[in-house]
Amino acid sequence: MNDTSRIPGIWWMSDDPENHVAGDLLLHNGKLELNGSFDGMKDGVWGAVSAGLQSVRRDKTILGITRNGGKRFTLEFFDEPSFTYTMSATGGYKADTYTLGGIFEGSHFIDTQELSFSDYYVELPYLFEWVNDGIISIETVFLKDKPLAASSSNVKLEAPKEIQAFKSEDFQLSFSIYRGGLQTSPPFRRVHVSQGCFLRVKPTRGMALAEARSIIMHFQRLLGIAVGKNIEPIRFEVRSDDGDKIIVHLRNPSSADYKLMYIEQMNFIFSDIAQDSQRVFEKWYGDMEKHSDMFDLFSSISSDAGKNTNNQFKDIVSAIEGYVSVETGKLDISPDKAIKTLNEYLQKENRPIPPGDYKKIRITRNKLSHLTIKSEDEASVLHTEGKWVSAKRMIFLLEYALLRNLGVDNKMLLGFYDKRKWHLN
């Protein structure tokens, strides 16, 4: 019970509030362990200790109130069997475990399929550093005759700040700088204050949760390119029309799982595009549906660290092939021509893929896709290291092409190349 992710409470099916069962919500594991069962005891002998799979009810949601604090939770559970345990050789004790989907803290929802909210806030790793702005500043005054000895320091705490980035007919995109709570240690010698940044999506009219998530995911892709790392949301909050705050729990790494990163290590920061952010994001979101298949592949390539080299190689070739095909309107473009197109976006001396590799990449992709290749082409199939290096270079080409297509200036593109070139060999 000392595990903060284990939350005891009373739980019931959304259509049967009288049938409540005590149990623990395992927040980070995404499970609900009941000290009993919604179905109750069934006819039959429960004499031996055993464990098995049994069908469960398929209502829309499970609702609950926690023992400590009386917080309301809404739980989505998958339409599949839950684990059912039979315990006690004499009593026949039954307990169910539900595998959960969405977990909402702060309100009860009978049906989560059509949920929509007035505001969506998501905290992403490195977003605060990338925005490179804040509401806490420190001014230190030094003694003239002792330049290394500080005489006084003034800490200035400003009000929360909203930085507008993009506005469309459907939603506004902004960065919401917030201040954390003040913590003091007796006898008040130490004062801890923090700040952070949310990506805020504010719909101009009703927007479903699923649509807001797709908007957030698409921003996440661009931020991943900017910082050069795979990132996942670490906090997700929504606001109801009445202003109530609801936390949507994510089973993703916490902020502590991400190492400290300075803006100098990033490929580019918000100030590099801030002046043109309206135009940049208008193009970025305008292409989201146009290149939906490619972006789905791109997300898979970026997020699936456990993917083997062969699958990653095939996926990035397919992503480039699809991207160039849609951009040029040529549905029958070959992989080698697609890669050549993106490679030639760069100056000749900066192109990461040698022209002689175009054919090798095409033949290797065909081989991995179980397509028939000529016997004389077998020698051109890349080995594991060649596939790994080529995949890294092609990921860079696609990212470079996406930035170029946003209309960013050549100075930023050159800076992006300079930051990435050491990882292309």
Q: Which domain holds residue 22?
A: 6-105
Indicate if 255 and 323 belong to the same structural domain: no
Indicate if 80 and 195 belong to the same structural domain: no
* Helical ranges in 228-356 per DSSP H: 277-286, 292-303, 309-328, 335-343
Q: What is the pLDDT of residue 151?
A: 64
CA 405 to CA 283: how far, in whole Å?
8
CA 216 to CA 252: how far, in whole Å?
15
Helix 292-303, helix 309-328: angle, nearest 10: 160
CA 164 to CA 167: how far, in whole Å?
8
pLDDT in tens, the chain (425 residues): 345 589 999 999 998 899 999 999 998 888 999 988 887 655 444 443 334 444 444 557 999 999 988 999 999 987 554 555 555 555 556 788 888 888 999 999 988 888 899 999 999 999 999 999 998 887 777 666 665 655 667 778 888 999 999 999 999 999 999 988 776 666 666 777 889 999 999 999 889 999 999 999 999 999 999 999 989 999 999 998 888 899 999 877 776 678 899 999 999 999 999 999 999 999 999 999 999 999 999 999 987 666 789 999 999 999 999 999 999 998 889 999 999 999 999 999 999 999 999 999 999 999 999 999 999 999 999 999 999 999 999 999 999 999 999 999 999 999 999 999 988 87
Indicate if 23 and 94 belong to the same structural domain: yes
Indicate if 62 and 177 belong to the same structural domain: no
* Structure-token pair, residue 331: 């549905």
Pairing of strands 82-87, 50-54: antiparallel
How many structural domains is the chain composed of? 3
Q: Which of 272, 305, 329 represents a domain boundary (last residue)?
A: 272
Residue 304 domain flag: yes
Indicate if 129 and 268 belong to the same structural domain: yes
Indicate if 367 and 339 belong to the same structural domain: yes
Residue 282 domain flag: no
Indicate if 166 and 292 belong to the same structural domain: no
Indicate if 126 and 265 belong to the same structural domain: yes
Between the CA of residue 46 and those of 23, 50, 85, what are the distances in Å?
21, 9, 10
Indicate if 295 and 268 belong to the same structural domain: no
* List of residues 6+ apart from 416 with CB closer than 8 A: 267, 268, 399, 400, 403
Residue 278 domain flag: no
